[in-house]
Amino acid sequence: MSPLFRRSLRWLVWIACFSLLLGCSKSDGGKQSPGGPAQVKLALNWLPDPEFGGFYAGREDGLFKKNGIEVEILGGGAGTPVVQMVATGQVEFGITGADDVIVARARGADIIPILAVFQKSPQAIMAHASRGAKGISDVLGSGTLAVELGLPYVAFLKKKYGFDKVKIVPYDGGVARFVNDKDFAQQCFITSEPLAARQKGADPSVFLIADEGFNPYLVVVIAKKSLWTEKPELVRAFRRASIEGWRAYLADPAKGNAVIAKLNAAMDAETLGRMAAVQKPLIETEETAKNGLGTMTRERWEVLGKQLVELGIITKAPPPDEYLMALE
């Protein structure tokens, strides 16, 4: 099952899980013994893999401890309700996407983003190179496309191009149909399905959704706003350690990948290395060269909020000034 399939499941369980989690026990909010590090939990929204490499590198290299934090990293899976876990105090920090943050706030969850790892979204559409498509508009001109219609970026593509010339079928989380059908295209993460398809002998062309104008930050670290209000230095320290961890992982992913391989038996060293290489230019961009890893801009959040309203996903976008804090 791919990262995109897990996102569609999260959207389906959002409301149901929120009410259930209200009654669950809460985390200690960065509990700290005298003279010791603050103990916090970070909930991932998928299984351990390179998209979380910087957090594992930060833990293994002692960068969280250097910043006074002992972090427990909780692996996720399909439908893991990270937003709800953070909003209801089950964990101090979590990983989600910028679109999920805005939708959650529009529905009453008082969460805030503290850094964004992926500056360019890895969400994409892949088609067989033999079709000669030059972009997503060409892919949508014929054949079959497997997507999850409930995802925001799919709604964006439908609004921009229409799906009247392509047969839409449900995305099943794998690449078997793609490999066996030259007229079959599908949603993907650039770091996942294309690599799997190539391993099976296919030659996919991959087109990023971000290049079409829908580019939410991904692997966004979130916290409950009350944690920021009550313990701003803890939030700043976690952000600082995370960025240091990502800096170390991007320089040399080997140590982080070794940890991930132990936690996720489906990943071998070669695959982990390829994934880390593919995602690197989506994390290190011109924007991060100027403003540092994890940077976020008010303009990007404002544009995304307007897009989600235009797509009918939310009725009103929460003002960025309500959730973008002075984290530096």
Digit-coded pLDDT (tens) for 230-259:
999 999 999 999 999 999 999 999 999 999
Question: What is the identity of the amino acid at 273?
Answer: G
CATH assignment of the domain containing 190: 3.40.190.10
Rounded to the nearest angstrom, the gap between the alpha carbon of residue 126 and the centroid of all alpha carbons in its chain is 19
Kindly report, residue by residue over 22-35, the tens digit of the pLDDT: 444 466 677 766 67
DSSP state of 37: P
- Lowest mean per-residue pLDDT among 23-32, 266-275, 279-288: 23-32
Residue-averaged pLDDT of the chain: 93
Q: Identify the residue whose tokens are 């062309």.
A: 205
Whether 7 and 151 map to the same domain: the answer is: no
Whether residue 327 is contained in a domain is answered as no
Whether residue 74 is contained in a domain is answered as yes
CA distance 214 to 293: 21
Whether 112 and 233 map to the same domain: the answer is: yes
Whether 166 and 230 map to the same domain: the answer is: no
| pLDDT more than 70, % of the chain | 90
Whether 205 and 237 map to the same domain: the answer is: no
Kindly report, residue by residue over 89-143, the tens digit of the pLDDT: 999 999 999 999 999 999 999 999 999 999 999 999 999 999 999 999 999 999 9
Kindly report, residue by residue over 292-305, the tens digit of the pLDDT: 999 999 999 999 99
Rounded to the nearest angstrom, the gap between the alpha carbon of residue 152 and the centroid of all alpha carbons in its chain is 14
Q: Indicate the angle between helix axes 298-310 and 152-161, nearest 10 degrees.
A: 70
Dig out the tokens for 13 from the structure.
Answer: 């369980």
Whether 228 and 83 map to the same domain: the answer is: yes
Buried b / exposed e along 122-147 (16+ C-beta atoms within 10 A): bbbbbbbeebebeebeebbeebebbb
pLDDT of residue 13: 47
Whether residue 328 is contained in a domain is answered as no
Helices (DSSP H) in the chain: which residue ranges?
3-21, 53-60, 63-66, 82-87, 98-106, 136-139, 152-161, 176-180, 193-199, 225-230, 232-251, 254-263, 269-283, 286-291, 298-310
Whether 191 and 225 map to the same domain: the answer is: no
Whether 48 and 91 map to the same domain: the answer is: yes
Residue 163 near residue 136 (C-beta atoms within 8 A): no
Whether 175 and 190 map to the same domain: the answer is: yes
pLDDT of residue 20: 44
Question: What is the identity of the amino acid at 18?
Answer: F
Task: Return all residues near 211 (Cβ < 8 A) that are at least 6 apart.
Answer: 135
CA distance 309 to 195: 34
Residue 64 near residue 71 (C-beta atoms within 8 A): yes
pLDDT of residue 32: 65
Residue span of the structural domain in which 208 resides: 123-212
pLDDT of residue 3: 56
Dig out the tokens for 143 from the structure.
Answer: 């054949």
Whether 204 and 242 map to the same domain: the answer is: no
In the chain, how many H helices and how many E strands? 15, 11
Whether 238 and 317 map to the same domain: the answer is: yes
Whether 89 and 220 map to the same domain: the answer is: yes
Whether 234 and 111 map to the same domain: the answer is: yes
Cross-strand bridge partners of residue 42? 73, 93
**Number of structural domains the chain divides into:** 2
3 state DSSP class of 270: helix
Q: Give the H/E segment covering residue 115.
A: strand 111-118
For residue 10, is pLDDT > 70? no
